[in-house]
């Protein structure tokens, strides 16, 4: 007997698939193993005569990446209606009927077609309302999404505590890790070319460089220890690259593919988590923490609440608030290294944080909801063929 395929999953995201490889990519790639996954990005303006969709298939994951394309002259007030119409046509052309609607941003709620989803999931990975440039209506939109959602997942315990009273089915799923991928760093004998010639010790950070990063802290650490090489890997976002501190021992290497990160980590001596303590970091649960540990790196972090509770109190990360404390904690890690007992404790903890396990638990919750829902068939919409390609 032919096994019934799981329901399609339509993911509405404020993050682009080709940006930093993180939670959405890890989860959607796993969901795509046994179902069609359509990852809808925010629209792009293009030199085209009429609205269209760009559809690319990610060969590595099997995820369909959907980008609404909007003519440049389209007024801001019309964009939501235009994108909604494009998505409705996508549903018709791709014959998306029974499906799970998955939201990373409440701002996309109005884009959902008339088709009733088998389940609505809100994966709240960040408190977006506290980020720089957040639209003022985001909080109201989130309340609307809480009314529609069957399940709410949070990206950390602090977010769980903030959201648990706003919905009856909120589940915490802190940042997980692909241990097998980052364990490679422990045995690599070579390192990335653009850091190979730098002297030791090397202290590194990998991730998005935005308003959540304490640039002045990085500058003070580099100034206080000119013999240390501070390596910053990742794209800049929502900040002027001209404001990045410039010193001979600070190296801004830019965005790197996820596949290459173990090679960078293999050449570091200490991993840094130089997050600012501000509204944007109040509820974050950084994905990099378990990735650093899997690579066998000691971690020094500012007192981010979820890092302190999940890693600091277990002795898996050293916590520092000032440049002097950062230098002291990093010096300790460089001098004494990481004991075998520390690595065994870290590895034991990491085994509870695999993306595979997170996906299995999420999938189980979704299937319980989806099987109990009565699905209303999609309304047939006549639409032209949409542009395609392979990502």
pLDDT, tens only, 89-102:
999 999 998 899 99
Same domain, residue pair 142 and 247: no
Q: Does residue 213 belong to any structural domain of this protein?
A: yes
369-376 contacts, C-beta under 8 A, 24 or more apart: 369/118, 369/119, 369/150, 369/151, 370/7, 370/98, 370/100, 370/118, 370/119, 373/116, 373/117, 373/118, 373/119, 373/150, 375/97, 375/98, 375/116, 375/117, 375/118, 376/115, 376/116
Q: What is the mean pLDDT of the chain?
A: 90
Dihedral angle, C-alpha 279, 319, 216, 234, nearest 10 °: -80
pTM: 0.90
Per-residue model confidence (pLDDT) at position 377: 42
Percentages (nearest 5) of helix, strand, coil residues in the chain: 40, 20, 45
Dihedral angle, C-alpha 61, 153, 92, 62, nearest 10 °: 0
Same domain, residue pair 221 and 361: no
Same domain, residue pair 193 and 242: yes
Same domain, residue pair 17 and 31: yes
**What is the residue range of 207's domain?**
179-350
CA angle (299 as vertex; 282, 355 as ends), nearest 5: 70
Q: Does residue 62 belong to any structural domain of this protein?
A: yes
Same domain, residue pair 122 and 166: yes
Per-residue model confidence (pLDDT) at position 316: 93
Same domain, residue pair 135 and 200: no
- Mean of the pLDDT values across residues 248-259? 97
The rounded distance, in Å, linking the Cα atoms of 272 and 269 is: 10
Higher pLDDT, 312 or 391: 312
The rounded distance, in Å, linking the Cα atoms of 391 and 378 is: 28
User: Do residues 327 and 221 make contact, with C-beta atoms less than 8 angstroms apart?
Assistant: yes
The rounded distance, in Å, linking the Cα atoms of 233 and 264 is: 9
Which of these, 184, 223, 222, lies nearest to 203 by C-alpha position? 222
3-state SS assignment for residue 382: coil
Per-residue model confidence (pLDDT) at position 322: 95
Q: Does residue 381 belong to any structural domain of this protein?
A: no
CA angle (295 as vertex; 306, 340 as ends), nearest 5: 95
Specify the CATH number for the domain of residue 273: 3.40.50.2000
Same domain, residue pair 99 and 188: no
Only one residue has tokens 């506290």, namely 130
Q: Does residue 384 belong to any structural domain of this protein?
A: no
Same domain, residue pair 327 and 189: yes
Same domain, residue pair 321 and 238: yes
User: Do residues 36 and 8 make contact, with C-beta atoms less than 8 angstroms apart?
Assistant: yes
Q: Does residue 379 belong to any structural domain of this protein?
A: no
Number of domains making up the chain = 2
Same domain, residue pair 65 and 118: yes
Q: Does residue 2 belong to any structural domain of this protein?
A: no
Same domain, residue pair 295 and 313: yes
Same domain, residue pair 53 and 110: yes
Query: What pLDDT band is residue 4 in, cutting at 50, 70 and 90?
Result: low
Q: Does residue 388 belong to any structural domain of this protein?
A: no
Give residue-wise pLDDT tens across range 183-230. 999 999 889 999 999 999 999 999 999 999 999 999 999 999 999 999
Give residue-wise pLDDT tens across range 36-56. 999 999 999 999 999 999 999
Q: Does residue 283 belong to any structural domain of this protein?
A: yes
């Amino acid at each position: 007997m032919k096994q019934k395929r799981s329901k399609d999953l339509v993911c509405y995201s404020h993050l682009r698939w080709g940006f930093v490889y993180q939670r959405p990519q890890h989860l959607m790639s796993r969901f795509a193993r046994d179902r069609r996954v359509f990852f809808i990005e925010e629209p792009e303006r293009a030199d085209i005569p009429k609205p269209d969709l760009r559809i690319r298939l990610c060969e590595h994951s099997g995820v369909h990446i959907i980008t609404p394309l909007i003519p440049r002259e389209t007024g801001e007030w019309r964009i939501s209606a235009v994108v909604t119409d494009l998505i409705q046509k996508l549903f018709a052309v791709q014959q998306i009927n029974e499906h799970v609607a998955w939201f990373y941003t409440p701002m996309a709620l109005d884009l959902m077609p008339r088709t009733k989803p088998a389940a609505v999931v809100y994966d709240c990975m960040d408190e977006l309302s506290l980020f720089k440039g957040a639209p003022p209506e985001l909080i109201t939109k989130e309340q609307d999404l809480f009314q529609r959602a069957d399940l709410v997942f949070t990206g950390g315990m602090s977010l769980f505590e903030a959201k648990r009273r706003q919905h009856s089915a909120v589940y915490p799923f802190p940042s997980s890790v692909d241990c097998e991928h980052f364990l490679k760093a422990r045995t690599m004998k070579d390192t990335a070319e653009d850091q190979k010639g730098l002297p030791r010790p090397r202290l590194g950070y990998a991730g998005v460089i935005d308003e959540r990063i304490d640039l002045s802290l990085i500058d003070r650490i580099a100034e206080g220890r000119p013999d240390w090489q501070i390596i910053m890997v990742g794209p800049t976002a929502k900040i002027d690259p001209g404001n990045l501190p410039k010193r001979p021992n600070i190296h801004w290497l830019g965005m790197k593919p996820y596949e290459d990160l173990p090679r960078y980590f293999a050449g570091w001596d200490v991993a840094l988590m130089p997050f600012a303590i501000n509204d944007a970091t109040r509820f974050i649960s950084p994905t990099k923490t378990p990735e650093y540990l899997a690579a066998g790196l000691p971690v020094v972090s500012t007192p981010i609440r979820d890092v302190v509770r999940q890693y600091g109190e277990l002795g898996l990360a050293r916590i520092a608030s000032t440049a002097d404390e950062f230098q002291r904690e990093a010096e300790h890690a460089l001098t004494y290294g990481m004991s075998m007992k520390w690595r065994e404790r870290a590895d034991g903890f990491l085994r509870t944080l695999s993306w595979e396990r997170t996906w299995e638990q999420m999938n189980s919750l979704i299937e319980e909801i989806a099987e109990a829902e009565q699905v209303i068939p999609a309304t047939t919409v006549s639409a032209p063929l949409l542009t395609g390609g392979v990502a």
